[in-house]
Amino acid sequence: MRFLILGYGTDCQGMAALCADSLIRQGQPADDITVWTDHPDWFKRRGCRVRELSAQTIAEWKGRYRFSLRLKILMMQEVFSSPPDGVQVFSDADIFWRGLPDVSGVEAGTTTLMHAYEPNFGADILRLYNEALAALYPGQSFKMYNSGVLGFPRGLTVGQINKVLRICDHVCDSLPRKMEWAEQIGYSVVFQRDYRIQTVEQIAYHYWGYNQEIARLMRGKSLDEWATLSFEQLEHLNQQAEALFNSPLYRWQNRIRKLQRSWRKTRNQQVARKHLRNIAGN
The DSSP string of 23-54 is HHHTT--GGGEEEEES--HHHHHTT-EEEE--
Query: What mean pLDDT comes out for the span 168-172?
Result: 96
Reported as a single tens digit per residue, the pLDDT across 4-18 is: 999 998 889 999 999
Indicate the DSSP class of residue 68: G
CA 177 to chain centre: 19
- pLDDT value at 263 more than 90: no
> What pLDDT is recorded for position 119?
87
What 3-state class would DSSP assign to 186?
A: helix
Instruction: Report d(CA 262, CA 282) in Å as an integer.
Output: 31
Poorest-pLDDT segment among 36-45, 51-60, 226-235, 253-262: 253-262
Confidence of residue 278 (pLDDT cuts 50, 70, 90): confident
Q: Indicate the CATH number for domain 2-281.
A: 3.90.550
pLDDT at 48 over 70: yes
CA distance 115 to 112: 10
Query: What element of type H or E holds 148?
Result: strand 145-152
pLDDT at 261 over 80: no
- Strands 2-6 and 204-206 turn out to be unpaired
Residue 282: the pLDDT is 63
- The whole-angstrom separation of Cα 144 and Cα 63 is 23
Q: What is the pLDDT of residues 51-110, one digit of tens each?
A: 999 999 999 999 999 999 999 999 999 999 998 988 999 999 999 999 999 999 999 999
- Using alpha carbons, select from 223, 219, 215 the residue that is nearest to residue 46: 223
Q: What is the pLDDT of residues 129-165, one digit of tens each?
A: 999 999 999 999 999 999 999 999 999 999 999 999 9
Rounded to the nearest integer, the mean pLDDT of the chain is 92
Using 50, 70 and 90 to split pLDDT, how confident is the model at 235? very high
0.75 exceeded by the pTM? yes
- On the question of pLDDT at 265 being above 80, the answer is no
**What span, in angstroms and rounded, lies between the C-alpha atoms of 230 and 233?**
5
